[in-house]
Amino acid sequence: MVQEHEPGTPGEDTEPTATRRTADEAESSRASRGWWDRNADEYQEEHGAFLGDDRFIWGPEGLDEAEAGLLGPVEALKGRDVLEVGAGAAQCARWLAAQGARPVALDLSHRQLRHARRIDAAA
């Protein structure tokens, strides 16, 4: 939880503080969705060119599935059902579809899914 002081109140010149507390699943989901919806545009602006529209990039390390082959031989993906959870703008799902897989991309951020639809429309 981040606590900020309103302008004109005691403590306004201090930095926000973070504390730990228990949050249930619903609250955690709302917080995560809210964060990604607020930051999706900035995230795509900062990382979109690197991620590409249809590349499968593994995490912040930037490992490209086309080179790494962590999912096995590309030929083995053809006809496979693949669920991508936390898909963002669905770049990995597009790569999987291009290999003949049948991906389903899920993301809790409405704003990230809007980026996915924008990229799909441009393709």
- Indicate whether 2 pLDDT > 60: no
Asked if residue 105 is part of any domain, the answer here is yes
Total number of domains in the chain: 1
pLDDT at 75: 96
* Bigger pLDDT: 14 vs 28: 28
Asked if residue 32 is part of any domain, the answer here is yes
**Residue-wise pLDDT tens digits, 72-110:** 999 999 999 999 999 999 999 999 999 999 999 999 999
Please provide the average confidence, as pLDDT, over all residues in the chain. Answer: 91
The range of the structural domain enclosing residue 35 comes to: 24-122
Asked if residue 1 is part of any domain, the answer here is no
Please tell me the pTM assigned to this model: 0.79
Q: Tokens for 88?
A: 């963002």
Asked if residue 47 is part of any domain, the answer here is yes
Asked if residue 69 is part of any domain, the answer here is yes
Q: Residue 94: which residues within 8 A CB-CB, separation 6 or more?
A: 53, 54, 103, 119, 120, 123
Asked if residue 11 is part of any domain, the answer here is no
How does residue 14 score in pLDDT terms, banded at 50, 70 and 90?
Answer: confident
**3 to each of 16, 20, 72, 93, 117, how far by Cα in Å?**
5, 12, 47, 38, 35
Q: What percent of the chain has pLDDT over 90?
A: 80
* Burial class of residue 107 in the structure, from the number of CB atoms within 10 Å of its CB (0-12 exposed, 13-18 middle, 19+ buried): buried
pLDDT at 95: 98
SS3 at position 117: helix
- Indicate whether 9 pLDDT > 80: no
